[in-house]
């Protein structure tokens, strides 16, 4: 019977690269910083059967002061795709999730929420069956994630051929006008990126939950950042930030002010970012979220036309029930109402 145990940081750093679905939200560097940002702590858990590690999860736990219990959140986890084993089926996935439920919700007493990695190739019916079998239910109290993944194992010619005809036409225009690219992760590139990003935010008037500066503060070795600046005749036209962990990279940020529109700089930047993610060793590039029905339909259409594979991951919740769980949920609801009032 599978069981759960806590891991050390050293354990995690040794095990995480053995999973094909290792991703930036489950990297030690990002997860610890993201937890600290909201007053939570990072807990590392392995699910094992006969000394074989079936899955690992980096869990962010935010406990109610004085209670020692609270909300446990596993974004883009648990990791289940061992490189040396077949992907789990619905029953095996349910077993892994059930162990986490018993450990985190039952034994530790937290409300447990999770959202599986977008890299995990589980059909919706498999996920739903596994979640139900492990005692989870869908929840709107944690964010779903909708995006699309570019398969970086394809050749450059195959990637080009897969583009929407109009997207490809705009890219070819950009390739002819002599735009250059600077890449790396240096203070100077960060400065230039932030200048373009600030300009874009001022022009578009949008807000971000986690700003680029947060990523720039992440310095450990399990997460690599790459900045791309595209420019022509001494003027920066656009910039992007790629975050890469294992086989997975994410198009974390892009800044394409109107100054580069006539040169199709946004198309050139995205194409160069795809190529750079391949060069970094990633096998897939998450385009960083797609919301076709949202406020910025233009950006969603731009990403969709790259012809990446779309995916959607639902958040699920489990709890041990009882008065403590009800208290935690009540305090969370009160906190949300206070936040909403402050927002007004």
Single out the residue of 319, 309, 195, 312 nearest to residue 257, CA to CA. Answer: 195
CATH of 3-144+314-343, one of 1.10.1740.10, 3.40.50.300, 1.10.8.590, 3.40.630.30: 3.40.630.30
* pLDDT exceeds cutoff 80 at 50: yes
* pLDDT exceeds cutoff 70 at 146: yes
For the chain, the average pLDDT equals 92
Per domain, the residue ranges of the chain are 3-144+314-343, 149-311
Asked if 3-144+314-343 and 149-311 have one fold, the answer is yes
Can you give the pLDDT at residue 344? 47
Looking at domain 149-311, its CATH superfamily turns out to be Gcn5-related N-acetyltransferase (GNAT) (3.40.630.30)
Average pLDDT, stretch 183-192?
96
Q: What six digits make up the tokens of 256?
A: 């394409």
pLDDT band, very low/low/confident/very high, at 314 (cuts 50, 70, 90): very high
pLDDT > 70: what percent of the chain?
A: 97
DSSP strand E in the chain: where? 3-6, 41-49, 52-63, 70-75, 111-115, 137-138, 145-151, 180-184, 224-232, 235-245, 248-255, 284-286, 309-313, 315-318
Average pLDDT, stretch 154-161?
95
* pLDDT exceeds cutoff 80 at 313: yes
pLDDT digits (tens, 9 = 90+) for 267-310: 999 999 999 999 999 999 999 988 766 666 778 888 989 999 88
Rounded-to-integer distance, Cα 127 and Cα 26, Å: 19
pLDDT digits (tens, 9 = 90+) for 206-218: 778 889 999 998 8
pLDDT digits (tens, 9 = 90+) for 102-116: 999 999 999 999 999
Rounded-to-integer distance, Cα 318 and Cα 224, Å: 33
**CB of 116 within 8 A of CB of 122?**
yes
* pLDDT exceeds cutoff 80 at 6: yes
């Amino acid at each position: 019977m599978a069981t759960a145990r806590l891991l050390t940081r050293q354990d995690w750093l040794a095990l995480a690269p053995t999973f094909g679905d290792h991703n930036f939200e489950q990297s030690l560097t990002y997860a610890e910083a993201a937890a600290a940002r909201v007053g939570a702590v990072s807990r590392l858990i392995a699910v094992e059967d006969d000394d074989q590690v079936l899955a690992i999860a980096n869990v962010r736990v935010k406990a109610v002061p004085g209670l020692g219990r609270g909300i446990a959140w596993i974004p883009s986890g648990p990791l289940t795709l061992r490189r040396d084993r077949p992907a789990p089926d619905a029953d095996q996935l349910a077993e892994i999730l059930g162990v986490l439920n018993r450990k985190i919700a039952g034994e530790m007493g937290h409300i447990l929420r999770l959202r599986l990695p977008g890299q995990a190739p589980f059909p919706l019916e498999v996920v739903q069956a596994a979640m139900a079998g492990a005692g989870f239910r869908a929840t709107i109290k944690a964010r779903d994630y909708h995006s699309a993944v570019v398969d970086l194992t394809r050749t450059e010619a195959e990637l080009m051929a897969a583009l929407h005809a109009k997207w490809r036409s705009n890219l070819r225009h950009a390739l002819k006008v002599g735009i250059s690219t600077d890449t790396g992760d240096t203070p100077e590139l960060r400065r230039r990126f932030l200048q373009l990003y600030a300009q874009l935010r001022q022009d578009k008037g949008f807000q971000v939950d986690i700003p680029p500066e947060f990523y720039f503060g992440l310095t450990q070795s399990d997460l690599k950042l790459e900045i791309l600046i595209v420019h022509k005749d001494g003027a920066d036209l656009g910039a992007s930030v790629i975050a890469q962990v294992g086989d997975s990279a994410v198009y974390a940020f892009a800044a394409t002010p109107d100054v580069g529109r006539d040169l199709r700089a946004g198309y050139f930047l995205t194409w160069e970012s795809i190529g750079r993610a391949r060069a970094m060793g990633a096998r897939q590039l998450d385009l960083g979220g797609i919301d076709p029905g949202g406020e910025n339909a233009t950006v969603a259409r731009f990403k969709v036309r790259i012809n990446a594979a779309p995916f959607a991951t639902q958040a699920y919740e489990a709890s041990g029930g009882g008065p403590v769980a009800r208290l935690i949920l009540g305090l969370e609801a009160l906190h949300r109402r206070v936040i909403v009032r402050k927002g007004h």
